[in-house]
A = this chain, B = another copy of it.
């Protein structure tokens, strides 16, 4: 069964959707941190100065809904939650990298 992953609102332009999914005050930074490996809620909160629980929680939820991050419960010592790049998220990496090449 292929699930229908359409976000609530679809723009006419695909690029516009991607931009929307990555835009916001914290999403690009969270995405960038996720490039280096799984990220976690409290850790992000500490790594993003000026951020707050609400904003980070919202950003994570939206990145998950956009199928950019995948949320996993890790059954380990101090039982925790990890967010990792989805396949789509990984496909975005090259786009992200080429943006980094565009100087400012």
Chain A: residues with CB nearer than 8 A to chain B?
5-7, 10-20, 22-23, 28-29, 32, 88, 91-92, 94-104
Most chain B beta-carbon contacts within 10 A, residue among A7, A11, A12, A17:
A17
Q: Which residue of B lies closest to A66 (CB)?
A: B104
**Known A16-B32, A18-B99, A95-B99; 12 more pairs at CB < 8 Å:** A5-B104, A10-B104, A13-B32, A14-B100, A14-B102, A14-B103, A15-B97, A15-B99, A88-B102, A92-B102, A95-B95, A95-B98
Other-chain residue from B15, B92, B97 in contact with A96 (beta carbon distance below 8 A): B15
Task: State in angstroms the CA–CA spacing of A104 and B13 once bound together.
Answer: 9
Other-chain residue from B10, B19, B91, B92 in contact with A22 (beta carbon distance below 8 A): B19
